[in-house]
Amino acid sequence: MNARMTAEELKQKIWEFLKEHKEGALATCLNNVPRSSPVQYVVGDDLTVYILSAGGEKFKAISQNPNVCLLVNTNYINYRQIKGVQIFGKATTSMDNPQLFDEAKKYHPDPYQLEHEQRELKIIKIEPEEIVYLDSLGDGDRTKQILNVANNRVMLKEDERLIYR
């Protein structure tokens, strides 16, 4: 069974998991049509996520609808053996805010590369509102722990029932 965590413990687990990985799937919606794009990211100290990209429809989607979801997970063995996070939040892009390059450089493992390729790259910044954490590896416990970032509050979701802490 998953150990129930405080908001600070859950933030730390999420941050550690995101730091262990660098790839995810970004979901956006354009003209009421959802799409998912493979992306690489870096994570900031406050769980803000920076995605580096050459471009694509996701930028047009974000300009019309900033609500996004980033999924980062381990290999999918089966529905009882997976670990991951879903980050729901608002996205902005370097097309609207060129300062995002300077922000992302603080967290990128090779800031020189980011600066050198700035003309070819665009940045998406996701400010998380809610983060769902699931670790069913081992015992298969599918209890989701949900962090409401603004309220610093944890909710549990067991068998599709929300349980507030």
Query: Can you tell me the distance from the alpha carbon of 93 to that of 91, in angstroms, rounded to the nearest whole number?
Result: 7
Confidence of residue 87 (pLDDT cuts 50, 70, 90): very high
pLDDT of 158 over the 60 cut:
yes
Terminal Cα distance for the chain, rounded:
17
Query: Can you tell me the distance from the alpha carbon of 9 to that of 152, in angstroms, rounded to the nearest whole number?
Result: 11
**How many domains does the structure of the chain reveal?**
1
Question: Does residue 137 lie within any of the structural domains?
Answer: yes
Confidence at residue 1, expressed as pLDDT on a 0 to 100 scale:
45
At position 76, the amino acid (one-letter code) is Y
Confidence of residue 112 (pLDDT cuts 50, 70, 90): confident
* Averaged pLDDT, 38-57: 94
Question: Does residue 1 lie within any of the structural domains?
Answer: no
Question: Does residue 52 lie within any of the structural domains?
Answer: yes
Confidence at residue 118, expressed as pLDDT on a 0 to 100 scale:
78
- Report pTM: 0.90
* Residue carrying the six token digits 């790259």: 121
Question: Does residue 90 lie within any of the structural domains?
Answer: yes
pLDDT tens column, 126-154:
999 999 999 888 877 788 889 999 888 88
Question: Does residue 2 lie within any of the structural domains?
Answer: no
Least confident of 26-30, 82-86, 115-119: 115-119
Question: Does residue 72 lie within any of the structural domains?
Answer: yes
Q: How far are the Cα atoms of 9, 11, 24, 96, 101 from residue 113, in angstroms, in the given order? A: 33, 29, 21, 22, 11
pLDDT top residue among 87 and 120 = 87
Question: Does residue 100 lie within any of the structural domains?
Answer: yes
Assign residue 35 the CATH number of its domain.
2.30.110.10
Confidence at residue 3, expressed as pLDDT on a 0 to 100 scale:
66
* Averaged pLDDT, 16-43: 96
Confidence at residue 152, expressed as pLDDT on a 0 to 100 scale:
86
**Taking a C-beta distance cutoff of 8 angstroms, is the pair 95, 53 a contact?**
no
Range of the domain at 71: 7-164
* Averaged pLDDT, 46-68: 95
Question: Does residue 61 lie within any of the structural domains?
Answer: yes
